[in-house]
Amino acid sequence: MQRYFIDENYQPTVHLTDENYHHIVRVMRMKNGQEIFVVFADEMAIKAEITDITEESVIVTEIEKETFQRELPIHITIASGFPKGEKLELIAQKATELGAFNFFVFPAETSVVKWDQKKQGKKVARLNKIIQEAAEQSHRQHLPRLESISPKELVNHFSDFDAVLIAYEESAKQGEQAQLVQTFQQLTAGQKLLVIFGPEGGLTPKEIENYQLAGAKLAGLGPRILRTETAPLYLLSVASFYYELSSSTAH
């Protein structure tokens, strides 16, 4: 069943317009009586029936509220240093499917890619479009957003989070695996975690030092060295197992 995000808070009757209207009427060619899911800005989701289609809007009426919880109990934001090629699109799409709450992207010192300021807006818009499609496909109740920021702005955001981790391959090489689990154990539902990932060349000692001085902690992600596009997906998969699938720990 199709899923549509709208930028309004919950209401039992909704007028869908613009892009959602085009997709329902022109792409899916839906008719009165068909059902869809609508997700509101306050993360309420409903199953709704199309009751009328006008020249400008699709009117839908609530059938029932969605009660199944599809979001991770903690809010994990992924911060990625600009990687090469289309890797950021892969991270945005797959991490959304796996439950990422939001995204930051930033120019790390070893980032080969430099974003042209004139094209940055289009790049961010394209990535957010990919995120929205992934959120619809995976039946998310929260629509993640991606923001491009400077390294200084990234550090300034640390205070918005309850914990900040640096995914650091040297920690993995040294066998450090406890910090991630310890962080999960300390966080409770609704709290916020920021995890920073470097680009292909990794994070420099200077970057690591700056992040640590601002309160971030180093964390290994298992015994294997992961690519920049794989590491965030590993982290989110581990979080899903820990918080959603593990029956041995109560959260």
Decide if 251 is inside a domain.
no
Q: How confident is the model at residue 229 (pLDDT cuts 50, 70, 90)?
A: very high
- Counting the structural domains of the chain, the total is 2
C-alpha distances out from residue 7 to 17, 34, 42, 143, 184, Å: 11, 22, 9, 10, 31
Let me know whether 95 and 151 are in one domain. Answer: yes
Let me know whether 104 and 45 are in one domain. Answer: no
More confident residue, 43 or 119: 43
Let me know whether 99 and 33 are in one domain. Answer: no
Decide if 142 is inside a domain.
yes
Decide if 70 is inside a domain.
no
Please give the backbone phi and psi of residue 146, each rounded to the nearest 5 degrees, phi first.
Answer: -110, 135
What CATH number did the domain enclosing 37 receive? 2.40.240.20
Which has the minimum average pLDDT: 19-23, 62-66, 214-218, 221-225? 221-225
Q: Quick one: 178 exposed, middle or buried, by C-beta within 10 A (0-12, 13-18, 19+)?
A: exposed
Decide if 27 is inside a domain.
yes
Domain finish residue from 23, 44, 65: 65
Instruction: Answer yes or no: are the C-beta atoms of 226 and 186 closer than 8 Å.
Output: no
Q: How confident is the model at residue 196 (pLDDT cuts 50, 70, 90)?
A: very high
Let me know whether 153 and 81 are in one domain. Answer: yes
Q: How confident is the model at residue 224 (pLDDT cuts 50, 70, 90)?
A: confident
Count of beta carbons in the 10 Å neighbourhood of residue 77: 21
CA distance linking residue 206 with residue 109, whole number of Å: 9
Taking the whole predicted model, whether its pTM rises above 0.75 is answered as yes
**Rg from Cα positions in the chain:** 20
pLDDT digits (tens, 9 = 90+) for 57-101: 999 999 999 988 899 999 999 999 999 989 999 999 999 999 999
Both tokens assigned to 120: 């940055």
Is pLDDT at 200 greater than 80 in this prediction? yes
CA distance linking residue 91 with residue 234, whole number of Å: 11
CA distance linking residue 132 with residue 175, whole number of Å: 37
Decide if 175 is inside a domain.
yes
Is pLDDT at 251 greater than 70 in this prediction? no
Let me know whether 128 and 32 are in one domain. Answer: no
Is pLDDT at 250 greater than 70 in this prediction? no
Domain finish residue from 25, 44, 65: 65
Is pLDDT at 237 greater than 70 in this prediction? yes
Let me know whether 113 and 56 are in one domain. Answer: no
What CATH number did the domain enclosing 128 receive? 3.40.1280.10
Is pLDDT at 182 greater than 60 in this prediction? yes
Q: What is the pLDDT of residue 175?
A: 53
Domain finish residue from 18, 36, 65: 65
The strand pair at 75-81 and 192-197 is best described as: parallel
Domain coverage including residue 21:
3-65
Let me know whether 214 and 186 are in one domain. Answer: yes
Which has the minimum average pLDDT: 151-160, 169-178, 207-216? 169-178
Q: How confident is the model at residue 116 (pLDDT cuts 50, 70, 90)?
A: confident
Let me know whether 37 and 147 are in one domain. Answer: no
Q: What is the pLDDT of residue 195?
A: 98
Which of 31-40, 109-118, 241-250 reaches the highest mean pLDDT? 31-40
Is pLDDT at 169 greater than 80 in this prediction? no
What does the mean pLDDT of the chain come to?
A: 92
Both tokens assigned to 129: 């479009």
More confident residue, 55 or 224: 55
Let me know whether 22 and 131 are in one domain. Answer: no
Let me know whether 57 and 116 are in one domain. Answer: no
